[in-house]
């Protein structure tokens, strides 16, 4: 109960803001809610009578649908709010918008380009703000990924997660922080100029000293996957980076997750991708559709993990 009370009313902007114990509380509740869902049991209507605003500055499939369904399953009302359809699109400040929405809603999920904008919104709002994705972090995805790994392996501490591709993207950043919080080892394999943000690595190294996890940066993908329990990849060109497409498509092919790379990994390795996948670029059909892929369980778990976040925070 102490942890439940400590979570109520808080923002979920990045995983670093939460303790290992608090993160386990979210994961375990998500697991319980998933069991109830498949058992056909009625889920406690944690959001009965509550309205959640879902603000989208970026397009979305999984984030929008999983959050709308999550709110519905918890008995609440979800409002889809396109950034450009709000007065934000006509110059109203983010701060003013946060103050006004706090008078109408019980919580906000925002999928935005800038982490700074998200933090301005959270500072102005008097209700919980949840990060549905920003340029720096994708915390809901990363925490649901840990739920998926925990389901498959039965534990997290000491597991080896290897990220292949763009080490500077929001997904890799969130996985670095989440892994080091929970005691998982993480290896990042990317081209030299696309290695993770230095400040995030400093933060993760501090986490690692407490949790016992190890962080490695290995430019060779073949060497990086040798001890991997899980291989994780993401798109080479994220939203907002379209101008860099030509350069990135030339740089990243050696970091494709394909059968040749998998041969360097242990026989029981599992493969993850946060989706959408650009098949034939960062990952091949034969890998993403293989038995080693846990991508579809990973996608489903966004729903259950986000129900847990909504229930605990709001």
| Residue ranges of the chain assigned to CATH 3.40.50.1370 | 2-137+300-313, 141-296
138 is catalytic: yes
111 is catalytic: yes
| CA atoms within 13 A of residue 128's CA, in its CB half-sphere | 23
248 is catalytic: no
Q: Which CATH architecture has domain 141-296?
A: 3-Layer(aba) Sandwich (3.40)
How far are the Cα atoms of 6, 147, 157 from residue 178, in angstroms, in the given order? Answer: 19, 11, 12
Map residue 4 onto helix, strand or coil: helix
Residue whose token pair is 């369980």? 297
At 21-49, the pLDDT tens digits run 999 999 999 999 999 999 999 889 999 99
> Please, what is the end-to-end C-alpha distance for the chain in angstroms?
15
Which residue in 10, 248, 302, 304 is the catalytic one?
302
The model's confidence at residue 1, banded by pLDDT at 50, 70 and 90, is very low
Map residue 270 onto helix, strand or coil: strand
172 is catalytic: no
CA 125-80-96 angle, 5° bins? 30
274 is catalytic: yes
Out of 3.90.1150.10, 2.170.270.10, 3.40.50.1370, 3.40.50.620, select the CATH number for domain 2-137+300-313: 3.40.50.1370
At 86-110, the pLDDT tens digits run 998 889 999 999 999 999 999 999 9
Q: 243: which residues sit within 8 A by CB, 6+ positions away?
A: none
Which residue in 141, 256, 298, 306 is the catalytic one?
141
Token pair in block for residue 235: 């798109």
Map residue 257 onto helix, strand or coil: strand
90 is catalytic: no
Q: What is the pTM of this model?
A: 0.96
How far are the Cα atoms of 132, 133, 182 from residue 64, in angstroms, in the given order? Answer: 9, 11, 27
Beta bridge partners of 198: none
């Amino acid at each position: 109960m102490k942890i439940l009370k400590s979570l109520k009313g808080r923002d979920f902007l990045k995983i670093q803001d939460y303790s290992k114990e608090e993160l386990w509380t979210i994961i375990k509740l998500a697991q319980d809610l998933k069991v109830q869902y498949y058992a056909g049991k009625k889920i406690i209507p944690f959001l009965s009578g509550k309205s959640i605003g879902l603000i989208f500055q970026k397009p979305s499939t999984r984030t929008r649908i999983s959050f709308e369904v999550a709110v519905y399953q918890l008995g609440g009302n979800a409002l889809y709010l396109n950034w450009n359809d709000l007065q934000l699109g006509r110059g109203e400040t983010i701060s003013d918008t946060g103050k006004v929405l706090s008078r109408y809603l019980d919580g906000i999920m925002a999928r935005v380009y800038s982490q700074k904008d998200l933090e301005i919104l959270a500072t102005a709002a008097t209700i919980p703000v949840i990060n549905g994705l920003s340029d720096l972090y994708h915390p809901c995805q990363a925490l649901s990924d840990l739920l998926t790994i925990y389901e498959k392996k039965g534990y997290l501490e000491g597991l080896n997660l290897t990220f292949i591709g763009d080490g500077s993207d929001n997904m890799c950043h969130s996985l670095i922080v989440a892994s080091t919080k929970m005691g998982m080892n993480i290896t990042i394999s990317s081209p030299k100029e696309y290695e993770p943000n230095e400040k995030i690595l400093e933060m993760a190294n501090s986490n690692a000293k407490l949790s016992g996890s190890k962080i490695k940066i290995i430019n060779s993908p073949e060497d990086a996957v040798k001890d991997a329990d899980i291989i994780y990849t993401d798109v080479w060109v994220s939203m907002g980076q379209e101008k860099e497409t030509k350069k990135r498509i030339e740089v990243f092919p050696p970091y494709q997750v394909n059968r040749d790379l998998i041969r360097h990994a242990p026989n029981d390795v599992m493969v993850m991708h946060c989706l959408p996948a650009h098949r034939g670029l960062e990952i091949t059909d034969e890998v993403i559709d293989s038995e080693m892929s846990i991508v579809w369980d990973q996608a489903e778990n966004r729903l259950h993990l986000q129900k847990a976040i909504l229930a605990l925070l709001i």
